[in-house]
Structure 1
Amino acid sequence: MSRATEVDQLPPPIETRCGDYVYFTKRSNDGAVVYCRRLADRTVESRTEQVLLDSEMLTRDQGYVLRNLLISDDNQYMGCLAAKYGSAGGGSESGSLLLYTLSDAGTPKLVEILEGVFNFVFGTNSTLFYTVLDAKLRANKVVAHRIGRGQSEDIVVFDEPCHECFVDITRTKDKRFHIVNSSKLDSSKAYLFSSTHDFWQNSSKDTSAQVLRLVRPRQDSVEYFIDHHDGEFIILTNSPKDNGPGLPTSEPLPFRLVRAPTASPTSEHWIELLSVGDDELIEDVEIFKSHIMVSMKRRGQPAVYIYDRASGRRSELPLPYNGNCTVRPEPNPQFEATTVRLGFSSPVHLESVVEYDMTSMKQCKSWASTPLHINSSEYICQRLNVPCENVDIPMTLIHHKSTELSKAPPTLVRVYGSYGVSLEPEFRLEDVPLLLRGWVIALAHVRGGGELGREWYSTGKGTNKTNSIIDYLSCTRFLLDKGWASSSRLAATGVSAGGLVVGAALNISPEYFRAAVLHVPFVDPLSAMLSPDLPLTGVEISEWGNPLSSTASYTTIREYAPYDNVHDMSSDRPGPSILVTAGGQDQRVSIWQPAKWVARLRSAGGYNVRVPSDTGCAPKLLFYPQMNAGHFHADSSESEAGSDNGGDFISAQALRNAFLISETSTSPC
């Protein structure tokens, strides 16, 4: 497994200019990320770099694992959001904000530590804003802090009482406004205030109500996100085109771009700037002085467009890997920039960064690493459509060119399908050893994800959740019917909510699978949603429904919940071997959920704690709790930068691969 982490050579550092400084990261000899800067506009001879932070030293000397790092506008302060390494830090959702002063001479000086911080953003005049979590892990407050004053003098800027909402704070690209977003999973409202406002000039209780301006009241199934550009607000929204706040809408509409004057940003002043086709879904927008970058999905595949503000011309950027890739906007902090940086990866390409000229649409620079033990040109990544009832389910297949599908090679089918999150065709370290051994990796893009837009999401959540499970089984059955996979060598895998889909599929059609791996699986949704005191239950209502108040929600969840539908196993319907992981510090899926599911599977018969050595084909049920780990320890696509221990991740994935290879190499029972 460790060989898969090796690269042929590291790319040169990616430099980002902020004011008079250029910032970049590099790797130390032991592989740790080192954050550096140097003065810009200096001759090569005088370009002395300054080390701002060594992530390994932060862990070794102070016991922190870095989650996020930001620099203030004036380049005088550095904020490092970190969690304590070990039992407390493994699963904690909030952390400590370490504040340093920066100077051209000497090392950064630690001046303050703020506790209980979930997210943060700098303001002006030594001010920053951060969010905090309540007892149920809901980000419910935005707090203003002035560096050097102490946390006891902080001012609550916004407090969201609705238990279904979570808040965040962002800053517009031109630095003129801060935006407070209060969101449910499928709706939002936003307040804005001037970035130069001094909350300490008037610290009365109604300061926030006087300063924050509501842009548009909350409406079911309507979201909007705000930026500011050249005297007007640019807003990404899926609101009705007449912008009426009181209009009912049961289904989410496509996203579009609108603009509004700075003095009047409310929805009655919105003017459409850009709409997209029925087969297009806007995912991200980056505002520049002369251009707007729009990242979207078109028929489920990535596309990036550049809009010239002066001419109105729309141009499409060429994407690598024939479009079978994941696109992620890189940090593009310079509002006046004429270039844009994007990150790309594919199942057989490590993430690379490409800088494009937004006028010529040509590539200017690129940074890429090449895996030492995998030749990307020898692999195939293709998208198929699987018929299912009245829809086609996209499925991505990845395998070596020499792998003959007609011979039913070992196959791993991955699924997620929740929260409108797309299962992206991206590089995943843990899959490399399987691909090198001739495996096929299949990605089932089921309803409930965001691959084909908001309707694709809405038809796979709430009372429609069974569609996610039906789609997954259809993709699996498609591979079996084609002869491209065999039930004796077919494995399933899912993380968190993806584990729910896998668990439900195992209850319905266990004969399809030889093995299954479920990481921190959400397998007891009924108990969770019937327990309002559990963390995040209130926030999750719009995703799963409320079984406490809705008979339809209760009935639907009860029908598909993996825990509630474990069947008595018999010799004529054996189950597959199953590996289940859990985190002792997981605050999203408590360890008791997968533990009680494993216990129920064992009580149903067919699984024994001990497996005789001469019956290697007997199904196994393995429970692997990591008591110091949190929710994001087990999956490379969800792991936070620097979260948990990299060695722990590699060990966990090595166990996964050993389990899959072992189980698919033995004869089925």
Structure 2
Amino acid sequence: MSELTSTTKGAHPTPPVAAQRPWTRTHHGEDVADPYEWLRDGEDPAVIAHLEAENAYAEATTAHLTPLRQLLFDEIKSRTLETDLTVPVASGDWWYYARTVEGSQYAIQCRAPLTDRTAVPELDPSQPLPGEEVLLDGNALAEGHEFFSLGGFEVSADHTRMAYAVDVTGDERFDVTVVDIATRQVLDEAVTGAGYGLAFSHDARHLFHVAVDDAWRPHEVWRHEVGTARGDDVLVHRESDERFWMGLGTSRDERWIVLGLGSKTTSEVHLIDAHDPTGPMRCVAPRRDGVEYDVEPAADHLLIVHNERQPEGDLAWAPLDATSHEQWQPLLERADGERFVGVDAFDDFAVLSLRADGLPALRILPREAKSTPFVASDYGAPVDVGFDDELHTVSLGPVADPDTDRIRIVHESWVSPRSVLDVVAATGERHVLKRQPVLGGVDLADYEQQRTWATAPDGTRVPVSLVMRRGTEPDGSHPGLLYGYGSYEMSFDPYFSIARLSLLDRGVVYAVAHVRGGGELGRHWYDDGKMLAKRNTFTDFVAAAEHLHETGWVARDRLAIEGGSAGGLLVGAATNLAPDRFAAVLAAVPFVDALTTILRPDLPLTVGEWEEWGNPLDDPEVYRYMRGYSPYENIAPLAYPAILATTSLHDTRVYFTEPAKWVARLREVTDHDDERPVLLRTEMSAGHGGRSGRYDAWEQTAWEWAWVLDRIGATDVVTSR
């Protein structure tokens, strides 16, 4: 057999055929032949040639969709305010903000002199603020590169220096540059290949950065003296436990450099005095297996969200110099149906982020006294920040200085554009600073949202969000797109999308299945969809699809499904379980060869993932369980729906290998034909998130959604009902 073929037969292109090469995986007494494992080597010219042939086949198969793709792109573009700016954030003597310019792919980071921190300047999207300084132009940095990502941007506490981290391949390894803001002199370019996380010392002489190991795990923190050689850097911490990752940042008052270490079930936080960067690092509380905690330094105490007493979290406080969990003192306990997520400290109040009844929420804790030493009674009765819409997302926006009297919040829903508001903490008075504009004559009253509930095979009620054009009736005729994720306790909360309007205007009912494995309904919702309960994620999703059919929201032959990354695992597994339920499957950077990956501790993410999926390398039960659901391993000779898998050559999180192997086996095993093609589309210069520039990202969205709309018979705009 040849390595690949791609020819045209009659009116239909012929898909590439990947060669089969002998390779066997042996674990727990089982030999598994995997003839497509050779597709793992991204340096092999034969692999690259295969991916390019797949791209050519995908383009040829979908050539008739070129006008629709252009139309979708034009709709997104015409409805977006291309020249715009973010709401400025006060820090020191400056307003910091970002702006975009029509025709430019990337944002421009700016600042302007601050005159009155209580009054945000009047915003004219077409004009910079008076006295603007351009700090960083992403378009200039991206020039000459097909991909560009800004992985970090930090300004020193004295506002004299900035550090930024750039990736131009998509592999999420960053080169760091330090610049003197006043002179624009490049002070340092010594740190290369770094991970996420940068933090200046208070005097800006030192820059802390994170190093990644060969498996892309952030495992070391180094202290770098600006202007010196990389070889002179000082190792601050090395994490030897391969389950643990690390995050690096600075406290709001810029007094502390915060190092957070965490596995999927356990965490540990260290503090470094930013005024004494060469001094010792202090552990707030040594790790204890199964105990997770987050630390927020306030001026004279620490606030701690933890799960020591119960899994949904509590809020505690501790002395500023705490070194043990025994110093934690209760501050606030959750109510039924709540999950405490995090806390932010300001001089005169704190803001608790939580989940309540399946949605994000915020709670202000006013500080009514300032005792010495601090006591819990300094905080008064909590005040919830509420909104009237049934489904929404509310989150704390950027606030740099701790001495403010107000918080910035961000609110949006499936049908309400993103709004930025300032809320006076003491009174609850609200000031709308900006609402995301939607151009092109769109009337947002034409759309509606609602929540419905599917019933899983074990009787569990699964929430499903629905978004559609107003007046849509559940008559069993509509096309639909069902999205799912369901891993890592990540919640897929309501958000507004200009691009999604193009689906809704074509009569599509857009649905999100909030399946177990996510965090929408609290920690138990996550625990019931991981490890040896992972199948619940997939059966919940199939139940949501069946619910859409049974309730008449979507026609049985017009439902497409979509998932990305771990959500790609979800849609792949669901397709194996119920291929007849779906008309089309869009799997983005899909984690579809899960067992092969989790059996290899040398690959990125694997060891840390064992607390999510289990360890099939050492545990035969976990091996058999994953073997029973991994999409690649369970493809059956049945009639599958049309499938489009997308990936990126430089994706570090989910190797392109997984969808490439999956597509090859789908073509080999399943009953498919020209009417139900299996496609693979690879971005040759991108990472896990796909293309990087905003116009390029719109083109990618238009390409994928044109395919979906074509498969479910929804290419035309619906003008009336």
Query: What's the TM-score bracket when you normalise by the shorter of the two chains?
Result: 0.7 to 0.9
Deviations 1:111-151 (A, max 9, x none): 21221221212222222211111000100001111212232
Q: Closer, same or farther in 2 for the Cα pair 1:439/1:29, shift >3 Å? A: closer
Q: SS of the residue aligned with 1:602?
A: helix
- Residue 230 (str. 1) matches residue 334 (str. 2): no
**d(CA) in 2 for partners of 1:162, 1:585:** 26
* Structure 1 partner of 2:192: 115
TM-score (norm 1): 0.88
> How far off its partner does 1:11 sit?
6.3
**d(CA) in 2 for partners of 1:423, 1:111:** 41
Deviations 1:549-588 (A, max 9, x none): 112211110111111111112xxxx211111111111111
Select between 371-380 and 495-504 the one with higher mean Cα deviation: 371-380
Q: Closer, same or farther in 2 for the Cα pair 1:433/1:409, shift >3 Å? A: same
- Residue 36 (str. 1) matches residue 110 (str. 2): yes
Map 1:362-511 onto structure 2 (within 5 A).
362-373=429-440, 374-388=442-456, 389-511=458-580
* Structure 1 partner of 2:179: 100
> How far off its partner does 1:398 sit?
0.3
Map 1:24-173 onto structure 2 (within 5 A).
24-31=97-104, 32-41=106-115, 47-60=130-143, 65-84=149-168, 89=169, 91-103=170-182, 108-113=184-189, 114-118=191-195, 119-125=197-203, 126-173=205-252
Q: Closer, same or farther in 2 for the Cα pair 1:509/1:494, shift >3 Å? A: same
- RMSD of aligned residue pairs (Cα, Å): 2.3
Query: Which amino acid is 1:427 matched to?
Result: F
For 1:5, which of 60, 66, 77 is the aligned residue? Answer: 77
**d(CA) in 1 for partners of 2:622, 2:404:** 49
Q: Closer, same or farther in 2 for the Cα pair 1:551/1:270, shift >3 Å? A: same
Select between 322-331 and 273-282 the one with higher mean Cα deviation: 322-331
Q: Closer, same or farther in 2 for the Cα pair 1:165/1:124, shift >3 Å? A: same
Query: Which amino acid is 1:597 matched to?
Result: W
The count of residues paired between Structure 1 and Structure 2 equals: 616
Q: Closer, same or farther in 2 for the Cα pair 1:7/1:434, shift >3 Å? A: closer
Structure 2 stretches lacking a partner, 5+ long: 1-71, 122-128, 369-378, 716-721
**d(CA) in 2 for partners of 1:665, 1:28:** 36
Deviation >6 Å, runs of 4+: none
Q: SS of the residue aligned with 1:128?
A: strand
Contact 1:4 1:371 in 2 (8 A): no
**d(CA) in 1 for partners of 2:523, 2:173:** 30
Contact 1:36 1:49 in 2 (8 A): yes
> How far off its partner does 1:13 sit?
4.5
**d(CA) in 1 for partners of 2:102, 2:494:** 31
- Residue 306 (str. 1) matches residue 383 (str. 2): no
Deviations 1:45-85 (A, max 9, x none): x942222222212212788542332211000001111112x
* Structure 1 partner of 2:94: 21
- Residue 548 (str. 1) matches residue 617 (str. 2): yes
**d(CA) in 2 for partners of 1:47, 1:591:** 47
Structure 1 stretches lacking a partner, 5+ long: 200-206, 241-251, 612-617, 634-642
* Structure 2 partner of 1:337: 404
* Structure 2 partner of 1:535: 604
Map 1:652-667 onto structure 2 (within 5 A).
652-665=700-713
Map 1:591-630 onto structure 2 (within 5 A).
591-608=656-673, 611=674, 618-630=675-687
Select between 448-457 and 645-654 the one with higher mean Cα deviation: 645-654
Q: Closer, same or farther in 2 for the Cα pair 1:220/1:458, shift >3 Å? A: farther
TM-score (norm 2): 0.82
Contact 1:382 1:397 in 2 (8 A): yes
**d(CA) in 2 for partners of 1:459, 1:238:** 17
Contact 2:216 2:604 in 1 (8 A): yes
Q: SS of the residue aligned with 1:22?
A: strand
Deviations 1:416-458 (A, max 9, x none): 0000000122123442211111110100000000101111101
Contact 2:342 2:352 in 1 (8 A): yes
**d(CA) in 2 for partners of 1:51, 1:177:** 28
Amino-acid identity (%): 29
Query: Which amino acid is 2:76 matched to?
Result: A
**d(CA) in 1 for partners of 2:600, 2:240:** 19
Contact 2:476 2:549 in 1 (8 A): no
* Structure 2 partner of 1:639: none
**d(CA) in 2 for partners of 1:98, 1:410:** 49
**d(CA) in 2 for partners of 1:411, 1:25:** 36
- Residue 348 (str. 1) matches residue 415 (str. 2): yes
Query: Which amino acid is 2:608 matched to?
Result: V
